Amino acid sequence: MDIVATTPFCDQKPGTSGLRKKVSVFQQAHYLENFVQSIFDTQDDLKGGLLVIGGDGRFYNDTAIQIILKMAAANGVTKCLVGQKGLLSTPATSAVIRKYSANGGLVLSASHNPGGPKGDFGIKFNVSNGGPAPESVTEAIFARSQVIDSYKTISADEIDLNTLGSQTLGEMSIEIIDPVKDYADLLETEFDFSVIQQLIASDFSFAFDAMHAVTGPYAIELLENRLGATKGTVINGTPLPDFGGGHPDPNLAHAKELLEMTQGDNALDFAAASDGDGDRNMILGKNCFVVPSDSLAILTANASLFPAYKDGIAGVARSMPTSQATDRVAEKLGIECFETPTGWKFFGNLLDAGRIAFCGEESFGTGSNHVREKDGLWAVLAWLNLIAEKQASVQTILDEHWATYGRNYYVRHDYEEVDSDKAKHVMDQLEARLPGLVGQQLQGRNVSYADNFSYTDPIDLSVSSNQGLRIGFNDGARLVFRLSGTGTQGATIRVYLECFEADTSKQHLSSEEALTDLVGIANVISQIEVITGRLTPDVIT
Ligand code: VG1
Ligand code: CO
Which residue is closest in CA terms to ligand 1's atom 11?
486
Lowest mean pLDDT among 98-102, 185-189, 255-259, 407-411: 255-259
Q: DSSP character for 244?
A: G
Of the pLDDT bands very low, low, confident and very high (cuts 50, 70, 90), residue 486 is confident
pLDDT for 322:
98
Secondary structure of residue 527 in the 3-state scheme:
coil
Contact in structure between 259 and 288 (CB atoms under 8 Å):
no
Provide Rg for the chain, Cα atoms.
23
**How far apart are the C-alpha atoms of 35 and 19, rounded to whole Å?**
9
Average pLDDT of the residues of the chain: 96
- 393 band by pLDDT with thresholds 50, 70 and 90: very high
Report whether 367 contacts 350 (CB < 8 A).
no
Give start and end residues of each alpha helix (H) in 75-179: 90-99, 135-145
pLDDT by residue (tens digit) across 266-317?
A: 999 999 999 999 999 999 999 999 999 999 999 999 999 999 999 999 999 9
Comparing CA positions, the residue from 330, 341, 361 lying closest to residue 134 is 341
Pocket mutation for ligand 1, best pick of 416, 453, 486 (most atoms within 8 Å of C-beta): 486
pLDDT-derived band at 92, boundaries 50, 70, 90: very high
Sequence-distant (≥ 6) Cβ neighbours of residue 61 within 8 angstroms? 55, 86, 87, 108, 241
Nearest CA to ligand 1 atom 8: 363
Q: Which residues surround ligand 2, an ion (CB under 5 A)?
A: 111, 275, 277, 279-280
How many whole angstroms from 105 Cα to the centroid of ligand 2?
16
Distance CA 176, CA 114 (A): 27
Q: Which of 531, 252, 260 is nearest to 412 (CA)?
A: 252
Say which amino acid occupies 354: G
Q: Judge if the beta carbon of residue 17 lies within 6 A of ligand 1.
A: yes
In 165-214, alpha helices (H) = 181-190, 193-201
Residues 6+ positions from 239 with CB-CB distance below 8 Å = 56, 57, 87, 210, 212, 213, 214, 216, 217
Least distant ligand from the CA of 19: 1
Task: Give the tens place of pLDDT for each residue, 109-168.
Answer: 999 999 999 999 999 999 999 999 999 999 999 999 999 999 999 999 999 999 999 999
In order of 36, 147, 380, 535, the CA distances from 41 in angstroms are 9, 11, 39, 47
Helix ranges (H only) for 305-411 are: 325-333, 348-352, 376-390, 394-405
Would you state the pLDDT for residue 489? 84
Asked whether the beta carbons of 52 and 96 are under 8 A apart, the reply is: yes
Active site residue 155: no
Contact 322, 293 (CB under 8 A): yes
Q: Say if ligand 1 is within 6 A of residue 484 CB.
A: yes
* pLDDT for the residue numbered 199: 98
pTM: 0.95
